Amino acid sequence: MRYLVTGGAGFIGSNMVDELVRRGHKVVVLDDLSAGKESNLADVRSKIDLRVGSITDLAAVQSACHGADYVIHLAARTSVPRSVQDPIGTNFVNIDGTLNVLVAARDAKVRRIVFAASSSAYGETPTLPKTETMPADPISPYGITKYVGELYAKVFGRVYGLENACVRYFNVFGPRQDPSSQYSGVLSRFMLAVIEGQQPVVFGDGEQSRDFTFIENIVDETLRACEARGASGMVFNGGTGARITLNQVLKLLEKLSGKKIQAKYDPPRTGDIRDSQADISLAEKVLGYQPLVHFEEGLQRTWEWYKGAYGKKQGG
């Protein structure tokens, strides 16, 4: 099969592409390299077709989509605080860009498109775990854009018969997550800080919790969402069903690193939700999904990877 992976040079995308290649599929990557890096694709570079271009460029998306059987749409501006800073920029990439991808997928008559939606669609709904039947109520511009992407995908199913599925990712982490920006995922920030002997910064009291999901789980679930019968038109949580607070994560990192960690506590970030935990029973039922790697194992594997990638300069 031929897959188009938008955002395929990024953290999640490149792990997805590795697995697709491992399974013997043909892969086209469309990535503007704004967050992704060609080096993330080093292991498969000679086997894939990498197109450097943006999803905001319809012609580039159409060309990349040509002949595709499946589209996995990951390209996005991913950060909540960045969307608070720049709602127009996030809206442009995440909504206009997604619309381009849907139009191109429709015109190329692909079998199905799977959209990387986000748990941020739930907003502050107090009930845990979050089930897909709860009303969406995003509290950040980013959450809005990801929810609108779902609505568009569903409407393209109804209006044009484009098969689609959405997976609401819950805080994905793992090797290749880029820790270098203030907008990077919290686990990557914490690990880099510990490796560099800096104080990790916690926004708020550290008692906020997340369903941190190791990358291999989300790759597996997303590929299931491409192929599973009866999944079209549906929205699935992409998590593990558990949650852990930032303070608990720091304790585990102390154990892994063998270092005493003294975090710096700053005021909470605007647009952040407090708690997040996925109910994964729908994905279990329809996709046959089960998390393959549990949090602590994922954390350990990620830690080993960061030590290799970022620890050398510090001699650790």
CA distance 245 to 232: 34
| Contact present, 200 and 272 (Cβ < 8 Å) | no
Stretch that binds ligand UD1, among 52-60, 93-101, 165-173, 219-227 (CB under 6 A): 165-173
Q: At 32, which helix (H) or strand (E)?
A: none
Please work out, in degrees rounded to the nearest 5, the angle formed at the alpha carbon of residue 174 by the alpha carbons of 168 and 180: 100
Q: At 265, which helix (H) or strand (E)?
A: strand 264-266
The answer to whether residue 142 is catalytic is yes
Interface pick for ligand UD1 out of 208, 217, 232, 302 (rule CB under 6 A): 208
Catalytic residue among 3, 70, 142, 306: 142
* Minimum distance, C-beta of residue 19 to ligand UD1, in the bound complex (Å): 20
Q: Among candidates 226, 308, 271, which has minimal Cα distance to 83? A: 271
Please work out, in degrees rounded to the nearest 5, the angle formed at the alpha carbon of residue 12 by the alpha carbons of 6 and 14: 70
Please say which residue, 267 or 315, places its beta carbon nearer to ligand UD1: 267
The site map against ligand UD1 for 53-82 (x = CB under 6 A) is -------------------------xxx--
CA distance 54 to 71: 15
Stretch that binds ligand UD1, among 20-28, 105-113, 202-210, 295-303 (CB under 6 A): 202-210
* Minimum distance, C-beta of residue 93 to ligand UD1, in the bound complex (Å): 13
Q: Among candidates 109, 50, 49, 100, which has minimal Cα distance to 73? A: 100
Q: Which of residues 256-315 bind ligand UD1 (CB under 6 A)?
A: 269, 272, 276
* Minimum distance, C-beta of residue 63 to ligand UD1, in the bound complex (Å): 27
* Residue 57, both tokens: 């460029």
Please say which residue, 270 or 290, places its beta carbon nearer to ligand UD1: 270
Interface pick for ligand UD1 out of 112, 130, 154, 189 (rule CB under 6 A): 189
CA distance 11 to 68: 22
What one-character DSSP code corresponds to residue 267?
A: P
Q: Among candidates 244, 243, 228, which has minimal Cα distance to 282? A: 228
* Minimum distance, C-beta of residue 190 to ligand UD1, in the bound complex (Å): 7
Stretch that binds ligand UD1, among 1-9, 84-92, 115-123, 287-295 (CB under 6 A): 115-123
Stretch that binds ligand UD1, among 40-48, 116-124, 131-139, 227-235 (CB under 6 A): 116-124
Q: Is the peptide bond before 129 cis (omega within 30 degrees of 0)?
A: yes
Residues that bind ligand UD1 (CB under 6 A): 78-80, 118-120, 169-171, 183-186, 189, 201-203, 208, 210, 246, 269, 272, 276
Residues that are catalytic: 142
